Structure 1
Amino acid sequence: MELGTAVTTVKGDPITVADVILHLKAKGTFRTAIYEIIERRVVEYKLEEQGVRVTQAEIDERVRSRKNTLALWDAKTFDAYLKHFGLSLEQWLDTIAADMRRERLRDIIVTKELVQAHYRQNSARHTCVSIARIACRTKADAERALAAVGERQADFVELARMYSVDDNTKLAGGYIGNLKRGMLPAEVDERAFTCADNEIIGPFSENGLWTIYKIYSRTVTKLNEALGKQIKDQIFEEWLRHQVCVAPA
């Protein structure tokens, strides 16, 4: 396909391949597209090195499954789908095969043992805190609330309803929910994930307010199927990124 080839028209005015490339460059997505193409080639070469291939029978089964998922049950609907995305049948089948090759390589590279080791080494990433907050307009109000909790004059829930200016949480006693590392401001995050259960921390200066927090408990997410897949994808993405960087030209 030449740069001057028209991919579509508007009132007879052609939009060419060159126009599309220029648009991708202007939007900052051209390099991403090039990277993804290189990545696909690297996956193919790595599978060849492993002596592994995706069989036609496996591809046919995936095609049937994809068509069922997308409700592409008849030829007319399927043709309209391909036309909508500007794909030929061969190109569509190629994208499915590419996805399957990527999955197959991921399954070879990222073993169950690697996933388990990553989970153990990065347990802090999978820890959540059950946390509540009182947000005050002044440091003095925050300190008064903190002192009242320390002297057991009132519990945190009552104080949140009394002092907090955060309308989203005050009626719930300041309760925010279960948060992972990195979801809180840096100083709060560090204290929240190292303090004891039921400890009150603060006051902290946040966005023009003064806050204190109660950390009810910490829990570590179990290595279930969903988390295992997330870790597996992460390990593979990092590995593949390195392979793309070191791939010979």
Structure 2
Amino acid sequence: MRETIRQKPLVLLALLAILAMITGCKSSGTSAPSPSPGGTAPQTNATEDDIVATIEGSSFSRQQLIDRLLSTYGAHTLRSMMLLEAVKEEANSLGVEVTDAELEQELRQMKQGYESEEAFYREMEEQLGMNREEVLEDARYRLLLEKLSIRDVKVTPSEIDRYIDEHREDFVPRRQYRLSQIIVQTKGQAEDLLASLTKGADFAELARTYSVDEFTADEGGDAGWIEAGDPFTDPGIMQAATDMQVGDVTGPVKTDQGYAIVKLEGRSEIKTRSESEIRSAAERQIALGKAVPMKDFEQSLLDKYHAEVKDRILRP
């Protein structure tokens, strides 16, 4: 089903630009107190220059927005800032760096499963708000952090051999499909919707209106990238996907939920890596498994470089 991409430190740091822009603007009037956890009360005494939004005669001040951003994201963002600095200091002191070749290989792995490089960066922008340069810098940071965390971990050739043997399915070619679907209860409903699509109706709009699938209806039927043989995808839908060309719509397909109309949005194949790439990937996974948990390692770096949060509101 749809893959969720975890939030990255550099995404949180983007809030700094927002805060800098907001606090850099001239503000006047009495600042509002920090918002309570239960919500933000409209501002009643802010001057016109200090108001950033209004609704039904009530207004919200610039200071309220700053307070809410700080209370919601401040502690996490500040920790990410300190971690970036601690990682940089540790890497410089040990002479550890990420080469361009390592970064390029990491990006290749990240892009696998997307129909094109443009599709990958578009997904990063939509899900995380990261442009190409930010994706690159975030990947470099994560690789550097990993390198530091596993620097003293020893992995033997026999361990690598055993790992590859036990995880063969991770290193064979795999095909993925980007699917959209509309699930309805009767075959007649499905046929009617297919007729509407033939006349030019919008697939996403029909999915939002008629699909009974709780996971994809609100997304316009988008089921995300699905790997061939996915056990959570109806076999009939998966078989339909294998026989389609990108852009094709087919149905009705009988499923456990009813009847599906399926659209193939994209197709991608994760290719086999070279022997050296496979062994390198296996070594990396083994080392990460042996190393201390990443959260503990991060905290050790913060402690080593005497990280201290002075503002009690920003303490985790």
Under TM normalisation by the shorter chain, which class is it? 0.3 to 0.5
Structure 1 or 2: larger strand share?
1
> Radius of gyration: which is bigger?
1
TM-score of the two chains, using structure 2 as the length reference: 0.34
Q: Which has the higher helix share?
A: 1
